[in-house]
Amino acid sequence: MVVILLITLILKKTVYIKTQYRYIIYNMNSSSLKIPKSNCWNPRKNLPAKISLKNKERDFTISFARAYIPKIKSLHSKTQKTAVKYAREIPINGCGIADFVAVYCNKTNDNSQSILSKIDSSVIRAFELKISNWQRAMMQAHRYRYFANSSIVVLHSDKLKNALEYINTFKKINVGLWAFNPISNKIITCYTPRPRNPLEPKYKPLAMELVARASKFQHSS
In a domain, 172, yes or no: yes
Band of pLDDT at residue 207, cut at 50, 70 and 90 = very high
In a domain, 138, yes or no: yes
Maximum separation of any 2 CA atoms in the chain, in Å: 53
pLDDT score recorded for residue 221: 39
φ, ψ (nearest 5 deg) of residue 19? -135, 155
Q: Count CB atoms within 10 A of the CB of residue 45.
A: 9
pLDDT score recorded for residue 41: 53
In a domain, 123, yes or no: yes
Would the pLDDT of 220 be above 50? no
Query: pLDDT digits over 89-141, tens only?
Result: 999 999 999 999 999 988 766 555 556 667 888 999 999 999 989 999 999 99
From residue 138, alpha-carbon distances to 8, 52, 167, 174, 183 in Å are 11, 22, 11, 10, 24
In a domain, 5, yes or no: no
Band of pLDDT at residue 170, cut at 50, 70 and 90 = very high
CA dihedral (197, 108, 75, 184) positive or negative? negative
What's the structural domain count of the chain? Answer: 1
φ, ψ (nearest 5 deg) of residue 115? -60, -45
User: What is the bridge-based pairing of β-strands 176-181 and 186-191?
Assistant: antiparallel
In a domain, 1, yes or no: no
The Cα 112–Cα 104 span in angstroms is 20
**CA 183, chain centre distance (Å):** 20
The Cα 218–Cα 34 span in angstroms is 8
Would the pLDDT of 18 be above 50? no
pLDDT score recorded for residue 20: 44
In a domain, 209, yes or no: yes
The Cα 65–Cα 127 span in angstroms is 10
Radius of gyration in angstroms for the set of CA atoms belonging to the chain, rounded to a whole number: 17
Query: pLDDT digits over 19-62, tens only?
Result: 344 444 434 445 567 787 876 655 555 555 566 667 889 999 99
What is the residue range of 169's domain?
22-27+35-220
How much is the mean pLDDT over the chain?
A: 81
In a domain, 151, yes or no: yes
The Cα 90–Cα 97 span in angstroms is 5
Percent of the chain with pLDDT over 90: 56
pLDDT score recorded for residue 73: 87
In a domain, 72, yes or no: yes
Query: pLDDT digits over 2-14, tens only?
Result: 455 455 544 444 3
Q: Is 160 helix (H, G, I), strand (E, B) or coil?
A: helix
Q: How far apart are the first and last CA of the chain?
A: 42
